[in-house]
Structure 1
């Protein structure tokens, strides 16, 4: 006690010390994390929305957010069947209500019977509700035309993001030159660069070929791998197909080449396939990595380690807020798999409503069931509207001098290239801003349109882009594209 009294100052207060947690003492890896999709542009957009509500006069009436693939926020209506079953699961007394179709009630009963105490509010097993994992495995088998899927290889996740980060966690090891290198496409979805930074792994860039509609060249993978081996241990290759932010759909041949490359170079493959239903361009088709792997025969299918990911957030569902997803792991070492199961158990379980929703995606109404017709109509309408908007976006952007846009073959985004005048580039650099960030910020302030600069996704040195979603309703998308066209012409004149 005596000692403590001495340490106290005259007036009985503890001596003044700085905070324990400061920017200097915090985890350095967290400071390296950057997530452009919700970066400074979006924060400013939120501020502008507040200003508009407070009556501040702007040259526009509303902010149009085309920065993130959030379908319902953009006005897309939820699938009726999904919401009926979710309502029944959340409030089971509705099971006695005759307004709900029988197939919705049957799905809800089956899900609830798999939950502790028949409640979706109970924890589930860490790997996910058993019957949901079985349904996911059956869905994969149907999708991949008979290639078997084992429910024990399925892990339900909090959106696909959670699964991707978990696998990267398992893979990250070593120090210095033995530190894990993670090969990611440039442009990429910033979840990858952010997770790599947070985990202290090494980001290894390979560039997609913009001139060939953002295709992937094996020679570029080879170049990237060889360069990386000088300073780290590249051991994982990440692929996003259909592509985000670039909207390309990989051909079967390309996937085969990638698998051969991974086998030859002994790389773990991660296939992010959350846009698998979003394929619009003629002649394009979604091929899952798993299906191609098994069709290549046992030389590959018994050897190549693969984790593939899917989610409730994209495709026609757009149910981002439920945070539902799954991953399937193939050829994972059994001892590592035990470690994976341990790792996910620390987080207890993914949200049960997200698991239930994932179940409905993989076990949707079948022909002969009362909800089938409505479900198919809603699904088709959403995907057809997206296909139409993909075409519209490409066509209108390509009429603007100084903007060139590749076909949006799939996913939900266009990633056009913009030519910026030298003066604008210099002014941006003087402000310490990336030139396309400068462009997007000006666009937001003058038109209310919120896009993400290409620099947030990565791009070849000296090129500039932005990513915009094709999700706004067609009439709003037209307004957005025409405003963008006007702005670009004005911007170019102003800085020429």
Structure 2
């Protein structure tokens, strides 16, 4: 039998993101530029994903100093490192087998680092208890989500399991659900009201699943990706009541909790909302909440470390959770170091605190500036409209494509917004993600643009997009 037949049917049904094709095109363009090709731009600005460091925003000094000392302990003898950096590196190395970050750790992570993550969660949530034994460190939050889905979803179940997912939403999560054998059931965020999540839309989605699958989980992203919604406590309470009534497991993707920039908006975790509601909700709603060192001011995407905390999961089920997470080797120790710093950063009075505070404030102020500036510019351009983003790292503008552009896309055999993004890349040297990768209402077209870039890159980006959009509308109207 050909090895091809051994591939899961669920994996075969996964679609390749349109961004993959655009990424290959960007690589070709970069090579042409290196060879001296004449183009109206000197480089490709890649704002297709939320990578803080690729956007030329600098890593946090304290994080890199601690990492450096852990990887090269001889630095601990140097006078160039602040005392609190040395103390942190020594503390971490004492918890590594053989005093080396090259050693394995427990599958769930270094025990004392998990404890500090638990303390971080408790502080974040106003004192709501957090139990270290319910926390698992993994190679990124998406890895943790995949593990939880494996517990929830049986590929042999009939009817198939269903997971309610937001549209627009994170495409990797949708692919992960499909790969486990689940059916993704879309619920649409309301674009006209700032991408709000409405419980009546959740009910519509649930009703649409009848006869197709058996929904068992609801996936929410707060703050939103790509839409930038920050849910109010009242909205979250409605969602909690809904999942309790419908007996759904709640999957809360909260990796952008450090990025809230919308006036009176404030991040509140689903863990806190559930815990502060009256019984039986507070002790019965089953929840998995995810966070990561890749996002927020930490921005260490390449270190690949995240964690999941489980709440109100039955002890019998937790036995299977422990077994499943134990099938993996530990997450990279470098990522665990980053999670430790994220959970327990320098505090007032520490030698590294002034610099740490200045650097984190610079990242947040740059993002807030970019959000405001990009919204103003994009919303004024012909054929574009942009809902404000209260949080997260992206904007998700809507593109009104003229009939001529739609015909050209159809002739090329590609999605309309992929055609638009391809033209933007070829003519302006700007790489963004097409809206079809995130889901969207039929007949609408969008693109996602990351705002995690330094201010001068943002200005150049907006200049290029403005010029391109004007010419595009002239060409295709």
TM-score (norm 1): 0.94
CA shift at 1:473, angstroms? 1.6
Within 2, Cα distance between the matches of 1:37 and 1:90? 38
CA shift at 1:131, angstroms? 0.3
Within 1, Cα distance between the matches of 2:385 and 2:303? 36
Say which SS state the counterpart of residue 380 (structure 2) adopts.
coil
Say which SS state the counterpart of residue 346 (structure 1) adopts.
coil
CA shift at 1:113, angstroms? 1.2
Contact 2:107–2:329 (Cα < 8 Å) also in 1: yes
2:394 alignment counterpart = 413
2:58 alignment counterpart = 77
Q: Specify which of 252, 257, 262 is matched with residue 238 of structure 2.
A: 257
CA shift at 1:302, angstroms? 0.7
* Pair 1:56-2:10 in alignment: no
* Pair 1:457-2:438 in alignment: yes
The C-alpha deviation readout for 1:229-276, integer Å capped at 9, x for no partner, is 321110000000000000111111111100000101000001000000
CA shift at 1:33, angstroms? 2.6
2:15 alignment counterpart = 34
Within 2, Cα distance between the matches of 1:184 and 1:165? 14
CA shift at 1:58, angstroms? 2.4
Q: Specify which of 267, 272, 296 is matched with residue 248 of structure 2.
A: 267
Q: Specify which of 170, 195, 198 is matched with residue 217 of structure 1.
A: 198
1:389 alignment counterpart = 370
The C-alpha deviation readout for 1:357-411, integer Å capped at 9, x for no partner, is 1000000011111111111111111101101101011010011021100112111
Within 2, Cα distance between the matches of 1:477 and 1:82? 26
Say which SS state the counterpart of residue 310 (structure 1) adopts.
strand
* Pair 1:204-2:185 in alignment: yes
Say which SS state the counterpart of residue 222 (structure 1) adopts.
helix
Equivalent runs, 1:82-231 vs 2, <5 Å: 82-173=63-154, 175=156, 177-231=158-212
Contact 2:19–2:437 (Cα < 8 Å) also in 1: no
* Pair 1:477-2:458 in alignment: yes
Say which SS state the counterpart of residue 54 (structure 2) adopts.
helix
Contact 1:128–1:155 (Cα < 8 Å) also in 2: yes
Within 2, Cα distance between the matches of 1:35 and 1:76? 30
Structure-2 change in CA distance of 1:402 and 1:362 (3 Å)? same
Say which SS state the counterpart of residue 203 (structure 1) adopts.
strand
Contact 2:113–2:336 (Cα < 8 Å) also in 1: yes
Within 2, Cα distance between the matches of 1:442 and 1:178? 43
Give ranges in structure 2 of 5+ residues lacking alignment: none
* Pair 1:67-2:42 in alignment: no
RMSD: 1.4
Within 2, Cα distance between the matches of 1:292 and 1:209? 22
CA shift at 1:197, angstroms? 2.0
Contact 1:35–1:194 (Cα < 8 Å) also in 2: no
Within 1, Cα distance between the matches of 2:268 and 2:18? 27
Q: Specify which of 294, 307, 328 is matched with residue 326 of structure 1.
A: 307
Within 1, Cα distance between the matches of 2:60 and 2:16? 30
Within 1, Cα distance between the matches of 2:346 and 2:19? 35
Contact 1:187–1:245 (Cα < 8 Å) also in 2: yes
Contact 2:293–2:299 (Cα < 8 Å) also in 1: yes
Q: Which 10-residue stretch deviates more, 216-225 or 427-436? A: 427-436
CA shift at 1:125, angstroms? 0.4
Contact 1:274–1:311 (Cα < 8 Å) also in 2: yes
Within 1, Cα distance between the matches of 2:60 and 2:352? 11
Within 2, Cα distance between the matches of 1:235 and 1:334? 19
Within 2, Cα distance between the matches of 1:337 and 1:356? 26
CA shift at 1:430, angstroms? 2.1
Within 2, Cα distance between the matches of 1:328 and 1:441? 40
Contact 2:142–2:173 (Cα < 8 Å) also in 1: no
Contact 2:116–2:344 (Cα < 8 Å) also in 1: yes
Within 1, Cα distance between the matches of 2:216 and 2:441? 23
Equivalent runs, 1:334-483 vs 2, <5 Å: 334-483=315-464
In our comparison, the structure showing a higher alpha carbon Rg is 1
Q: Which 10-residue stretch deviates more, 221-230 or 173-182? A: 173-182
Contact 1:37–1:68 (Cα < 8 Å) also in 2: no
Within 2, Cα distance between the matches of 1:48 and 1:151? 48
CA shift at 1:174, angstroms? 5.7
The C-alpha deviation readout for 1:414-443, integer Å capped at 9, x for no partner, is 000010001111221122111110111111
Within 2, Cα distance between the matches of 1:302 and 1:438? 49
Contact 1:177–1:230 (Cα < 8 Å) also in 2: no
